[in-house]
Chains A and B, each alone.
Chain A
Amino acid sequence: MKKVIMGNHALSYGAMLSRAQVIAAYPITPQTQVVELLSEMCADGTLNAKFIKVESEHSAMAACLGASLAGARTFTATSAQGLALMHEMLHWAAGGRMPVVMGNINRAMAPGWSIWADQNDSLSERDTGWIQFYCSSNQEVLDTVIQAFKVSEKLMIPSMIVLDAFALSHTYEVVEIPEQDKVDRFLPPFNPPWRLTPDDPHAFGGLTSPDHYMEFRYKLQKDMEKVPALVEETGKEYEKLFGRYLGQVEEYFCDEAELVFVTSGTAGYTARVAVDELRAKGIKAGNLRIKLFRPFPFEKVRDILSRVPKVAVLDRNISYGHHGIFYQEVKSAMYGQPSSPLIFGFIAGLGGRDITRDSYQEIAEYALNKNRAEEEIVWIGVKK
């Protein structure tokens, strides 16, 4: 069934179709309509889940962790300062191997207060051990929720589904809502290898001496390394049932391109239109959209970018005193490879400033005219 829904509700429908059993959330700003619809679904019986209204995002994630340990499929959503307040609990989720799935609306961090899009909130949580998916359409948001539960529960690692504020969260698009019985076939009930239960009480996350702590982290990393292959596998399985392929990256005209943009989020879709425009002008441009950011899709990125001479990485984020974060990641992936392109880093769209087709024209012009990455950061659209 096709429906015109906003990105926030694409998350809600994803959680509903995944038959989430516990949803814990803080309902005040920067929260969005994600949990508003889910609370309605819980109230009217559309979704058989326990909705826990808590007093902070920290508590929201804490409640999710308890529920997940008890064996429930668990979902929550947040944004910006809310995600930052969860920070400690994010480490608990990943370190304790609790496969919570969370939607995060990419909003810029305060101050000044902002409800507009940029990626610094989710990228500040890069090293917490969560899988991170970045989406470019409402359809992708919905499909990724369902897939994320499957990947997360198989490896016992939590997943964050990230979407841009307004450009997806409050934008209505046509979304194909999958049939419940098909989703059930794709995603069986959550059956964890251990449970928090009074029948067989265990202690979780207790004191861990230097004798063992490192091994737990080693195991988390080893399982993280299994994510890319699993995302490919579940993506193909999903495609068989629903006709839409998910995956680690989206390649658009990268073969034999003279310049490839590396993009993410909604800017990653606008880039496709910019590529079309550049190609119409005779410039062989391409776009590599990163969908899976953690773990980083090394193999795919290396395979595609080692075949092109120039790469322009667009960041809607910044690591102050360093570079845009995707730029860092792409450079680190390409370093020491037998054939490495010239890589430029651009920062645009912070705090919700629009990233347009013209932004890409400017980026392309810069990258095509330089033979060396002269500047650490090339800023796009700053009023200088």
Chain B
Amino acid sequence: MIEIRFHGRGGQGTVVASKILADALAKEGNYVQAYPEFGVERRGAPVFAFIRIDNKPIYDKSKIYNPDHVVVVDSTLVEAIDVTEGLKEGGCIIINSNNPPEHFRLPSKFKVFTVDATEIAVKHRLGTLAAPIVNTAITGAVIKILNLTRLESLVEAIREGISIKPEDNVKAAIEAYERA
């Protein structure tokens, strides 16, 4: 079983990112469980989303405390909160940033990756310049770095699950996949 935690800010589409990823993984016959932080969301406030992936039914319905990997949709959160909380040793931390991984000075027991999903989102005109929607681009990087699923499944999931500018979202995911 693989457990992943997403960190983002309310309004960035973090929960949708976990849902799209769940859709893509389910297409390849995986069992998935994706859920937002249980509670209320506020725009701009730190939010969480979680996903469990397994090749057999998932009976554990408790929350995820020790994720295998962490995805940080908003790099300002690395300073604001402890994104490594409970993260298993050797786990990957994927950060949306135009800085190199070393910039974040995270403990060496974790593998840090960065991908500039914001630049990709802006290039494909997703959201606004002030508030680009980076969630689809991030999923492209995540499936590549963690080797979770084929790109085709993700593309299919985006086409089915995103109603606004699906093709631009697909292009963003593909670009992030290729650059990751």
Contact = CB atoms under 8 A, between A and B. Distances in A.
B33 A172 contact: yes
A267 B32 CA distance: 18
Interface stretch (B36-44, B74-82, B165-173): B36-44
A159 interface: no
B38 A174 contact: no
B122 interface: no
A352 B60 contact: no
A267 B60 CA distance: 8
A269 B61 contact: yes
A172 B49 CA distance: 11
A170 B32 CA distance: 14
Contacts of A164: 61
A170 B31 contact: no
B62 A170 contact: no
How many B residues touch the partner, as a band?
20 to 34
A355 interface: yes
B35 interface: yes
A116 B36 CA distance: 13
B116 interface: no
A90 to B, nearest CB: 27
A170 B38 contact: yes
A76 interface: no
Contacts of A136: 61
A270 interface: yes
A115 B22 contact: no
A291 to B, nearest CB: 15
Given A272-B59, A354-B63, A4 B23 contact: yes
A147 B31 CA distance: 24
B166 to A, nearest CB: 17
Nearest to B38: A166
Given A4-B23, A115-B39, A115-B40, A266 B61 contact: yes
For A116, A165, A354, the residue with the greatest tally of chain B CB atoms inside 10 Å of its CB is A354
Contact of A171 (B23, B26, B34, B59): B34
A115 B37 CA distance: 12
Nearest to A167: B61
Interface in A284-325: none
Given A4-B22, A166-B38, A172 B59 contact: no
Interface string A131-165: 00000100000000000000000000000000011
A172 B38 contact: no
Given A166-B38, A269-B59, A269-B60, 9 more contacts: A4-B26, A167-B38, A172-B19, A172-B32, A173-B32, A269-B61, A356-B62, A356-B63, A356-B65
10 contacts: A4-B32, A115-B40, A166-B38, A170-B38, A171-B33, A174-B31, A269-B60, A270-B59, A273-B59, A356-B63
Closest 4 CB pairs of A and B: A266-B61, A166-B38, A171-B35, A356-B62
Interface of B: 18-19, 22-23, 26, 30-36, 38-40, 58-63, 65
Interface of A: 2, 4, 115-116, 136, 164-168, 170-174, 266-267, 269-270, 272-273, 352, 354-357
